[in-house]
Structure 1
């Protein structure tokens, strides 16, 4: 069973861009209510899709460089990286079924 990993500006290239599996990066903040709502959904997807996708969490307030680089303005924003590039962008909290519908074409 897998759990979301934590990434920072310093570890983003290594853990996300160079990953061999798709990585869904959750840009979140402590003060963001919808971020807290989506967290259990992402935990469940991480566990159920272990080996097919990595769920990564990046704290927006503590890591300004990466969100700025990818134009993240609203939270939560989820960016799916595949082969080092953004394959999907999801803004706002979504139910699990809606997230999986977006993610499934990218899962191995």
Structure 2
């Protein structure tokens, strides 16, 4: 599966189906967000069809940022069946994201 870049108009449509979704709230000008992109690519390759990975540009989607109370970048939220499960603020090692995702994959 490939990483999708969405905006506030289509985020809720993607989160409603069943399954596990990782949503990265970031911005192109944010250095830690840029450092997170290769980690997300690796997670996408390792977890494959078990999860969806979505990127949201907070500058283009202020309503989504407000709805999920995004205060720092990057913020990664993990949803299961459209319901928020975990929120990780700041850049973390790949192992942290991988462990959190595995906790929610059935």
* TM-score exceeds 0.5: yes
Runs of 5+ consecutive residues of structure 2 not aligned to the other structure: none
Question: How far is 1:65 from its partner?
Answer: 0.4
In structure 2, C-alpha distance between the alignment counterparts of 1:47 and 1:14, rounded to whole Å: 23
Runs of 5+ consecutive residues of structure 1 not aligned to the other structure: none
Question: How far is 1:81 from its partner?
Answer: 0.9
Using structure 1 for the length normalisation, give the TM-score. 0.93
Instruction: State yes or no: 1:11 paired with 2:18.
Output: no
Which position in structure 1 is the counterpart of 2:20? 22
Question: How far is 1:3 from its partner?
Answer: 1.8
In structure 2, C-alpha distance between the alignment counterparts of 1:94 and 1:15, rounded to whole Å: 25
In structure 2, C-alpha distance between the alignment counterparts of 1:70 and 1:96, rounded to whole Å: 23
Contact 1:21 1:51 survives alignment (8 Å): no
Question: How far is 1:20 from its partner?
Answer: 1.8
Question: How far is 1:53 from its partner?
Answer: 0.8
Which position in structure 2 is the counterpart of 1:46? 44
Question: How far is 1:19 from its partner?
Answer: 2.5
In structure 2, C-alpha distance between the alignment counterparts of 1:29 and 1:94, rounded to whole Å: 17
Using structure 2 for the length normalisation, give the TM-score. 0.95
Which position in structure 1 is the counterpart of 2:90? 92
CA-based RMSD: 0.9
Runs (4+) off by over 3 Å? none
